[in-house]
């Protein structure tokens, strides 16, 4: 996985990103090609749009184009779900969502898949839209989902997911309860961050990829530039934690933080799974047609 290329548009209204990669298992290669337009959600459109292109490893034959917005939502939330399963307290029962867009919905589902969540508190700049989110998702999930007027109310939960497009801190370290786990998802450049320095300093920090974190994650880079933390404050990658190469949570009262930027390996594996599932469905349909 070479470093991804993220190019601002000529008028700085959005970004264009290309992320290539080659996998050993499944044996496939390809690239994620997406646009990022921060103003889209206000107009009811996804902020991230594009596709993942898959190629056959042996022949170079194009296999599929898979919708980039759907893959991004699924794999980002799945990775946060993994981090939450590995780092949050097993008795965590409350979830705070800062944000009410596509990623908030995907993260709600992912976190409920790994922890027995009884209450969800949703905050966003529009209380009306937060209430609409709570009502929409209450119909299909069992937790009590409520909209809250203040971000600190959502932050005072066992698990907190920050999934906004904010370029500056929208959650403060002083709001966190002892033993909380935080997933930071929205910020994606050295100059932007969703969490203040105090939060990152309080937390035991993990990332999806060290190379990208130390080149793109403003949530981490800005506290380093301020001298508040050293690079060694980042414990390691979530994959290394999964493999037992780094230590996870050490005390119940410890605050843990997972900073997500996105790893093309996750996109390619997810897109390959979709392609295999679609190919299997098509084969089954053909068998039915032959049988008829």
pLDDT (tens digit, 9 = 90+) per residue, 151-195?
Answer: 999 999 999 999 998 889 999 999 999 999 999 998 888 899 999
Rounded to 5 degrees, φ, ψ at 37 are -120, 100
Domain boundaries, given as residue ranges, for the chain: 74-264
SS3 state of residue 115: coil
d(CA 184, CA 77): 11
Residue whose C-alpha is closest to residue 12's, from 36, 30, 33: 36
Provide the pLDDT for residue 291.
Answer: 52
Distance, in Å, from the CA atom of 173 to the CA atom of 195, rounded to the nearest integer, reads: 7
pLDDT in tens, 211-250: 989 988 999 999 999 999 999 999 999 999 999 999 999 9
Best mean pLDDT range from 39-48, 176-185, 281-290: 176-185
Integer CA distances (angstroms), 59 to 31, 56, 66, 221, in order: 16, 6, 19, 41
Superfamily of 74-264 according to CATH: NAD(P)-binding Rossmann-like Domain (3.40.50.720)
């Amino acid at each position: 996985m070479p470093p991804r290329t993220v190019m601002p548009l000529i008028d700085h209204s959005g970004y264009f990103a290309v992320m290539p990669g080659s996998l050993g298992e499944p044996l496939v290669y390809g690239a994620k090609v997406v646009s990022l337009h921060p103003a889209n959600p206000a107009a009811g459109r996804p902020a991230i749009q594009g596709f993942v292109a898959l190629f056959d490893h042996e022949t170079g034959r194009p296999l599929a184009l898979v919708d980039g917005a759907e893959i991004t939502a699924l794999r980002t939330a799945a990775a946060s779900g993994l981090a939450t399963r590995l780092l949050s307290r097993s008795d965590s029962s409350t979830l705070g969502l800062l944000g009410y867009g596509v990623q908030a919905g995907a993260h709600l589902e992912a976190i409920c898949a790994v922890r027995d969540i009884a209450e969800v508190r949703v905050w966003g700049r529009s209380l009306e839209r937060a209430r609409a989110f709570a009502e929409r998702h209450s119909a299909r999930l069992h937790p009590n989902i409520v909209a809250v007027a203040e971000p600190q109310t959502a932050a005072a939960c066992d698990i907190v997911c920050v999934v906004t497009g904010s370029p500056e801190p929208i959650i403060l370290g002083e709001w966190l309860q002892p033993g909380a786990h935080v997933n930071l998802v929205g910020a994606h450049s050295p100059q932007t961050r969703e969490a203040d320095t105090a939060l990152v300093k309080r937390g035991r920090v993990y990332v999806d990829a060290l190379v990208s974190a130390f080149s793109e994650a403003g949530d981490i880079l800005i506290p380093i530039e301020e001298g508040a933390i050293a690079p060694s404050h980042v414990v390691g990658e979530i994959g290394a934690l999964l493999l037992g190469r780094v230590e996870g949570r050490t005390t119940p009262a410890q605050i843990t933080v997972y900073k997500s930027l996105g790893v093309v390996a996750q996109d390619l594996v997810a897109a390959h799974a979709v392609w295999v599932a679609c190919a299997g469905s098509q084969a089954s349909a053909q068998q039915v047609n032959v049988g008829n």
